[in-house]
Structure 1
Amino acid sequence: MKHLDWYLQINLKARHLRLLVAIDTYRNLTQVAEVTHVTVPAVSKSLAELERGLGLALFSRTTRGFMPTPYGDCLIRHARAMLAILHQARDELKALSSGAEGKVRIGMLPASASVLVPYALNLLKQQSPGTNVTVIEGTTESLLPELWQGRLDLVVGRLPPPDTLGSFEEKELLEEPVVLMTGRHHPLARQNTLNWSDLCDYPWILPPPGSILRDPLERALEANDVPLSSNYIETLSIHVVRAHLQVSDFIAVMAGSLANDPVQPFHRLPLSLPRLLRPTGVLWNSNRGLTPSAQLMVSCLEEAAQHVLKDFTGSLSPAKSKRTR
């Protein structure tokens, strides 16, 4: 084990990390050679030297290609994380050398953060024009691995259940209810009072199975004797939901702030759902901490949450500020 410690601390290089990730990605030395612009013998030699230096077999040669061993899986996972940190350092150094003040990479859950994030970005650019931002939309399932690997600094949206957080740290930003919405032309929008049974004849826009809202929504509708018809659309795209509500008699479940959209106004049905989801908030990897740019973005998100609350008073309330490991 002393030899392993020595090799990891002295001899392991960034090129070894890139080699491991490339072999794990392509599982074929010919393809690895093509993308790394070296010969196949050179790739094979580098891998052999790495395995010999560590004293561990990192890959098994199989009919399906090069498959990582448990040792390989372990080292590849850390190699991806270390390369992400190096890329982050590169981006920050480039930003500093070009006169910029930094860069922050944000993952956004569009269904819950599409109002909050634009407010926060506007505040960030007012306070620090030289801080540049990359925003990537996605689902919890796609964004949290990117946050863990270090390819994202923050993820903004509905907070996942606490037992799924692991080493992620969170800050609650906004307690935003989930409401039932239609287009303003919808037949139900012309009724002053509604019963749950009035919903039974209309089609739905639903979050897909497996999303954090689908199961609690189904339970809430079932409790009110509202069966989901066979006529529905499943999507997490807020753009699809907005557009379809404008031209159809569908019912959708959306964040309360979206009902007051001045460009595409909607009608909020006067039926109360129980609290189906946790608040909207921001997550980061506590093992990595926050860069100054990311810290500034968190501050802007907190300020933006107050703006959203002020603009949509009556449907929202501020969330308690809390951190959970």
Structure 2
Amino acid sequence: MKLHQLSTLAAIADTGSLRAAARSLDVSPAAVTKAVRELEADLHAPLVIRNTNGITFTEYGRALVVHARLVLGQLARAEAELDAMRGAAAGKLSIGVTPWVALTFLPATVLRFRERMPEVQLEFFEGLLAVVQPRLRDGTLDFSIGRPPPASPQSEFHHEPLFSTHSAVIARRGHPLANCRSLLELEDAEWVLNWDPASRESMADNLFLRRGMRVPRTIHLAHSFAILTGLITHTDMLSICPWPLVELSMAKENLCALPLRETVDETTVSVTARRSSPPGPAGRCFLDCLHEVIDEGARSRDPDMRRLFHSIELLL
């Protein structure tokens, strides 16, 4: 396998067609086709299927794309680290961020980071597990700041806990169930949740079944906080959000937290990265900036910041 062949395969996966991949690589479509055919011949396996709808990958192709992205990402990180050692830091830093961190600590962290590394391009993804975990795995994301994937001794990821917080059940102001005191009163409600579909059963078990109530019949999934708040604000759906996000959004979005007696879903926010690819100089600088902003926020006299820290427990 040659580097240009792996670059070609990754470009096809990113763009969805041979012609678009050729444009992104600034080569001819014939060169892209040749690179794929040579790679298939070397591996004795079909990688792509060409049809009237475009290009699809075989199981061999899908597996190789993951490795190609890892190889290319590792080379890019190596170049960035050497540039940083020469005092010429550049490149790109890709980060997944959970919504409430994006709305609180992220802006000040970015400003501080830009002062220290102005040549580094930043790319952010909303930090839902279903979005960030595949990107962490294939190397297109440097690290994420949010709920970590399930831990295990053999996990491919390393987690650095930052803080923990409980969640609240939220609804629009004036909701018929706004004054409920127990989760048992919400069994027949319609829910929209910002959960990873892969962890839906375990989450539902932790929240509902262990409290002796049945799992609600209707649970919708929203993969964006903007979609989630829009639905809650204009419908009778209920949702669950970490308390810091509730503190930030209740007044602005015309939402309320239900006064439940039960504690709802404790969440830990961590920095998660591949064990084999710890953050490079730019990533370490960004995390240093984040820690500084959090430390200053915990000592702030600003009432909004004090209210935010009242709802979280630092684990740094």
**TM norm structure 1:** 0.70
Equivalent residue for 1:269, pick from 258, 262, 283: 258
Amino acid at match of 1:314: H
Equivalent residue for 1:312, pick from 292, 308, 311: 308
Q: 1:246 to 1:122 in 2, by over 3 A?
A: farther
Contact 1:182 1:250 in 2 (8 A): yes
Shift of 1:212: 3.4
Amino acid at match of 2:312: L
Shift of 1:234: 2.7
Shift of 1:258: 1.5
Per-residue CA deviations over 1:212-268 (Å, capped at 9, x if unaligned) read 366323543234454455555431321122233333443210011012115336322
Equivalent residue for 2:225, pick from 238, 247, 269: 238
Equivalent residue for 2:190, pick from 193, 203, 206: 203
Amino acid at match of 1:110: P
Q: Distance in 2 between matches of 1:257 and 1:125?
A: 26
Equivalent residue for 2:135, pick from 117, 126, 146: 146
Superposed counterparts of 1:116-131, under 5 Å = 116-125=105-114, 128-131=117-120
Superposed counterparts of 1:282-297, under 5 Å = 282-297=271-286
Q: Distance in 1 between matches of 2:222 and 2:57?
A: 35
Q: Secondary structure at the match of 2:310?
A: coil
Shift of 1:171: 0.7
Gap runs ≥5 in structure 1: 1-11
Counterpart of 1:258 in structure 2 is 245
Shift of 1:17: 2.5
Amino acid at match of 1:243: G
Contact 1:206 1:214 in 2 (8 A): no
Gap runs ≥5 in structure 2: 299-304
Q: Distance in 1 between matches of 2:216 and 2:57?
A: 46
Contact 1:175 1:317 in 2 (8 A): yes
Shift of 1:142: 3.0
% identical aligned pairs: 22
Counterpart of 1:8 in structure 2 is none
Say yes or no: does 1:175 pair with 2:171.
no
Shift of 1:282: 0.9
Shift of 1:123: 4.1
Q: 1:229 to 1:291 in 2, by over 3 A?
A: closer
Per-residue CA deviations over 1:159-193 (Å, capped at 9, x if unaligned) read 1111287232211011011221223333454x4x7
Shift of 1:294: 0.5
Amino acid at match of 2:123: T
- Decide which moves more: 210-219 or 274-283: 210-219
Q: Distance in 2 between matches of 1:153 and 1:210?
A: 23
Superposition RMSD in Å: 4.4
Q: 1:164 to 1:152 in 2, by over 3 A?
A: farther
Superposed counterparts of 1:1-325, under 5 Å = 13-21=2-10, 37-38=27-28, 40=30, 56-59=43-46, 77-88=66-77, 103-110=92-99, 114-125=103-114, 128-137=117-126, 139-163=128-152, 166-189=155-178, 191=179, 194-200=181-187, 202-207=189-194, 210-212=197-199, 215-227=202-214, 229-230=216-217, 233-261=220-248, 263-264=252-253, 266-274=255-263, 276=265, 278-306=267-295, 307=297, 310-319=306-315, 321=316
Q: Secondary structure at the match of 1:163?
A: coil
Paired residues, number: 303
